[in-house]
């Protein structure tokens, strides 16, 4: 420090310039420091004190360092401003915050020989003062908030009874504004007949006696309201200056008390006139109160019940006592019992079915002091329910075990019940239908038919029958025959619901179709048997004479060839008739289908070449042999492959695929012909139905019959313009079938 005075000397010399240091501030955590100016920089030369450590400073960090290097930029900027003033001869005090600690600093110049050689400073921690100031401000804010936001009206009046302070709740209560209330006496707020009494109570409060009472006031709108008023004297230095008041609006409370009285009277009237048996048992003395309906239902009077000190009334049968004790425990714990069905006794010994509801009655402290019981005689209802259950059980057994679909719907069409048979019939779980409109499950083309039937039933109140397709879970549709029967209310003749009983027509339709086909086949067989000889005999003669004439003819030889060809065609048709007319011998042999197909392809290969058709054959390896009548299966393959070639007059490709699948040898023959319309696929295989110009339809029908006799099946997939695929599936049998 050179020739500078010591910090002690500095302190004694500066105290005369900073008198506030003697006011007690120096008792707080503090520090002293000195600095001087070198080369335009403020340099710290000395610093010590408890506050020095609290700031987180060390001597190495500050001694000999400039202000800019010691303090954060904002603090350094503030200090430099004041330090420059002190260096220029001015004593300065300022407040700031460093490292979260508020402090007061006092600085002043130190002179030597009339020149300022350094500046001496003193800092004191203001945390305690700031905390006290903040607490005081918070306390004032809390008090002000308590006054301003209090739900009760708070006010003060002077010795003349005029308002001097009012809070916002006073404005809400009275309807007067704050400016209107201030300077106004309390007289306009009271009915005239209450003025004298209010003045007496006001005087009592001024005499040092606080008052609390209920009073009616008149608010600005003219409405009257009840308030609970508390007034206490304002005493300052033993002198009464006025009265503080707290007014609580109890109008709603008064109205509630009045409503409570009215409710009590109404409740007593309801209990007395109720048709249900009502009893109230007091747990303290086991006394019981009952209404007239209790005495009428059970035959016991109130006097009869109060002869016993037991909590279990004599209406409880002996075997039901344990149950009754359990119910009592529930109620004593504050629980409720609702609509509990049990048995009770009439005084005569007759047993009654009752619906029992128990409720606890609570005292002021929240403890259960009594129990109310409401009993309703349901004996007649129980008898009817038993009979109804027996009836419902009969119908349930019928509904759940019938194979017909039974559904119940509202008049709007909303389904409320579906029998379990629906799972087998349509694949949906019965619960899937509940709440949905039944019409949405019909095919869209049949909905109008079903809707018309339901309208007819609703208007005539008579059952109706209709056929419609219904959705299956797999996406297909099942044809149902349904009968809708209305359920009508006997009293108002209103339609309550609709019962629909449906039956699957699929099997019946199949049977009818089979019968129809069977009739055709029968007629065809009879026709074939009767006509075969009649046609073949003349044809033989005609053919012989034509051949004779042909051998002698010298011209028009082509006509003879055409006539002979047509006669052969007629013979072929008659031959097909004969296949249907007389049973064929079924001599099953173990046949290699691949070799059989190779033979068929070789037979038709030349015809395929003539029609510019290519045949591709693909076969799985190591296919097992099949029990079949070889010539008949060969005839099936020839007919179908021939049809495939003829369906492509402009040429094309026929693909034959032979494979093993699910216990069948499956042969698929795919062409690129004109294809078959979907509507005509169902009729293929019927006699005289064909897609060819000169066909009879007998060839494909014979194929169907042969494959069916072998236990197999033929399926057809076709698309117009793209071609057709005929699939022949023949079963793999372990043993040779018996010939029929």
Tell me the pLDDT band of 395, cut-offs 50, 70 and 90.
low
Which CATH class for the 7-132 domain? alpha beta
Q: What is the mean pLDDT of the chain?
A: 82
Name the phi and psi angles at 172, rounded to 5: -65, -40
**Domain 585-731 = CATH 3.30.565.10:** yes
Q: Copy the structure tokens of residue 180.
A: 């209107």
What pLDDT, on the 0 to 100 scale, is given for residue 397?
59
Mean pLDDT of 199-224: 89
Q: Residue 193: what pLDDT?
A: 87
pLDDT value, residue 238: 83
Lowest mean pLDDT among 174-178, 604-608, 735-739: 735-739
Of 9, 3, 16, 8, residue with least CA distance to 106: 16
Q: What is the pLDDT of residue 705?
A: 83
The residues that bridge with 187 in the sheet, in sequence order, are: none
Q: How far apart are CA 403 and CA 507, in angstroms?
A: 13
374 against 136, higher pLDDT:
374
DSSP 736: P
Give the per-residue pLDDT at 68.
87
**More confidently predicted of 678 and 186:** 186
Q: Torsion angle of alpha carbons 668, 671, 675, 676, nearest 10°?
A: -30
What is the CATH number assigned to the segment(s) 510-580?
Answer: 1.10.287
Q: Which residues contact 406 (CB under 8 A, 6 or more apart)?
A: 399, 417, 418, 419, 421, 499, 500, 501, 502
pLDDT at 16: 38
Name the pTM for this structure. Answer: 0.31
Give the least confident one: 36-45, 228-237, 300-309: 300-309
Q: Residue 19 has what pLDDT?
A: 40
The architecture in CATH of the region 402-504 reads: 2-Layer Sandwich (3.30)
Mean pLDDT of 728-736: 89
The pLDDT assigned to 698 comes to 62
**Rounded mean pLDDT, 489-495:** 80
Q: How far apart are CA 387 and CA 563, in angstroms?
A: 87
Whether the predicted pLDDT of 688 surpasses 60? no
C-alpha closest to that of 415 among 503, 480, 484: 484
Architecture of domain 274-382: 2-Layer Sandwich (3.30)
pLDDT tens string 582-620: 555 568 889 999 999 998 888 788 888 888 999 999 999
Tens of pLDDT, residue by residue over 598-607, are 988 887 888 8
pLDDT score for 10: 39
Strand order in the sheet with 723-731: 613-619, 652-661, 664-670, 723-731, 713-719
The tokens for 609 are: 């070449």
**What stretches of 575-620 adopt beta strand conformation (E)?**
589-591, 613-619
Residue 180 phi/psi, 5° resolution? -70, -35
CB 704 within 8 A of CB 729: no
Share above pLDDT 70 across residues of the chain, in percent, rounded to a whole number = 85
- Separation of alpha carbons 333 and 315, rounded Å: 23
Q: With bands split at pLDDT 50, 70 and 90, how would you rate the model's confidence at 391?
A: low
**Residue (of 215, 212, 201, 211) closest to 254 by Cα position:** 215
Measured distance CA(702)–CA(632) in Å, rounded: 9
Q: Express each pLDDT in 396-417 by its tens digit.
A: 655 565 667 888 999 888 999 8
Say what the pLDDT of residue 515 is: 53
Query: What is the structure's pLDDT at 619?
Result: 93
Report pLDDT for 692.
52
* Cα 95 to Cα 100: distance, rounded to the nearest angstrom: 13
Tokens at 437, concatenated: 């409109």
Two domains, one topology: 274-382 and 402-504: yes
Which is it for the CA torsion 55, 59, 64, 65, positive or negative?
A: negative
Instruction: Please give the CATH superfamily to which domain 150-254 belongs.
Output: PAS domain (3.30.450.20)
Domain coordinates of the chain in residue numbers?
7-132, 150-254, 274-382, 402-504, 510-580, 585-731
Residues of the chain with pLDDT > 90: what percent? 17
CA distance 246 to 261: 28
pLDDT confidence of residue 141? 77
Residue 419 pLDDT exceeds 60: yes
Residue 672: pLDDT above 80? Answer: yes
Per-residue pLDDT for 27 more than 60?
no
Q: Is 124 helix (H, G, I), strand (E, B) or coil?
A: strand
């Amino acid at each position: 420090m050179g020739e500078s005075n010591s910090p002690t000397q500095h302190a004694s010399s500066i105290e005369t310039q900073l008198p506030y240091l003697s006011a007690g501030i120096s008792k707080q955590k503090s520090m002293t420091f000195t600095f001087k100016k070198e080369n335009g920089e403020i340099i710290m030369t000395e610093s010590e004190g408890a506050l020095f450590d609290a700031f987180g400073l060390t001597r190495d960090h500050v001694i000999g360092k400039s202000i800019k290097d010691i303090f954060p930029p904002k603090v350094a900027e503030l200090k430099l401003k004041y330090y420059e003033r002190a260096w220029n001869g001015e004593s300065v005090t300022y407040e700031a915050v460093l490292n979260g600690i508020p402090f007061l600093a006092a600085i002043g110049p130190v002179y030597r020989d009339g020149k300022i050689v350094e500046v001496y400073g003193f800092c004191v921690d203001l945390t305690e003062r700031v905390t006290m100031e903040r607490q005081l401000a918070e306390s004032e804010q809390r008090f002000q908030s308590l006054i301003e936001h209090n739900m009760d009206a708070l006010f003060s009046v002077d010795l003349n009874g005029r308002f001097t302070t009012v809070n916002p709740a006073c404005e809400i209560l009275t309807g007067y504004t704050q400016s209107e209330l201030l300077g106004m006496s309390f007289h306009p707020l009271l009915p005239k007949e209450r003025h004298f009494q209010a003045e007496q109570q006001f005087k009592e409060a001024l005499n040092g006696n606080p008052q609390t009472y209920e009073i009616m006031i008149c608010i600005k709108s003219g409405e009257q309201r009840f308030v609970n008023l508390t007034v206490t004297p304002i005493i300052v230095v033993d002198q009464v200056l006025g009265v503080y008041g707290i007014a609580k609006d109890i109008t709603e409370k008064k109205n509630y008390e009045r409503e409570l009285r009215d409710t009590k009277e109404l409740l007593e009237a309801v209990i007395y006139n109720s048709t249900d048996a009502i009893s109230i048992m007091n747990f303290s003395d086991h006394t019981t109160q009952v209404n007239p309906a209790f005495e009428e239902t059970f035959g016991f009077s109130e006097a009869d019940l109060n002869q016993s000190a037991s909590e279990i009334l004599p209406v409880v049968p002996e075997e039901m006592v344990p149950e009754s004790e359990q119910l009592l425990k529930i109620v004593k714990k504050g629980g409720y019992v609702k609509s509990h069905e049990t048995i009770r006794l009439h005084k005569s010994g007759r047993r009654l079915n009752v619906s029992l509801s128990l409720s606890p009655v609570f005292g002021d402290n929240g403890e259960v002091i009594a129990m109310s019981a409401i009993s309703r005689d349901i004996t007649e209802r129980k008898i009817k329910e038993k009979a109804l259950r027996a009836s419902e059980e009969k119908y349930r057994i019928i509904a759940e075990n019938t194979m017909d679909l039974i559904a119940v719907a509202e008049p709007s069409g909303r389904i409320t019940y579906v029998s379990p048979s629906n799972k087998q019939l349509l694949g949906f779980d019965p619960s899937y239908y509940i709440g949905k409109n039944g019409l949405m499950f019909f095919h869209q083309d049949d909905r109008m038919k079903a809707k018309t039937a339901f309208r007819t039933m609703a208007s005539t109140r008579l059952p109706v029958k209709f056929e419609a397709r219904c959705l299956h879970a797999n996406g297909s549709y099942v044809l149902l025959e349904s009968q809708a029967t209305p359920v009508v209310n006997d009293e108002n003749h209103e339609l309550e619901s609709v019962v629909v009983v449906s039956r699957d027509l699929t099997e019946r339709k199949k049977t009818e179709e089979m019968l129809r086909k069977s009739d055709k086949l029968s007629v065809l067989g009879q026709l074939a048997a009767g006509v075969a000889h009649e046609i073949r005999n003349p044809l033989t003669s005609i053919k012989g004479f034509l051949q004779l004439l042909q051998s002698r003819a010298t011209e028009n030889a082509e006509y003879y060839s055409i006539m002979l060809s047509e006669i052969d065609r007629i013979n072929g048709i008659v031959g097909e008739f004969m296949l249907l007319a007389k049973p064929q011998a079924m001599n099953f042999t173990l046949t290699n289908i691949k070799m059989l197909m190779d033979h068929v392809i070789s037979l038709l290969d030349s015809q395929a070449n003539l029609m510019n058709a290519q045949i591709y054959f693909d076969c799985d390896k190591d296919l097992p042999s099949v029990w079949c009548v070889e010539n008949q299966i060969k005839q099936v393959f020839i007919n179908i492959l021939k049809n495939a070639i003829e369906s492509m007059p402009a040429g094309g490709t026929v693909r034959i695929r032979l494979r093993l699948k699910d216990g069948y040898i499956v042969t698929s023959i795919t062409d690129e012909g004109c294809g078959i319309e979907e509507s005509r696929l169902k009729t293929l295989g019927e006699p005289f139905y064909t897609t060819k110009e000169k066909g009879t339809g007998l060839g494909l029908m014979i194929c169907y019959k042969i494959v069916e006799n072998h236990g197999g099946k033929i399926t057809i997939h076709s698309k117009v313009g793209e071609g057709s695929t005929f699939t022949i599936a023949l079963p793999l049998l372990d043993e040779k079938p018996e010939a029929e």
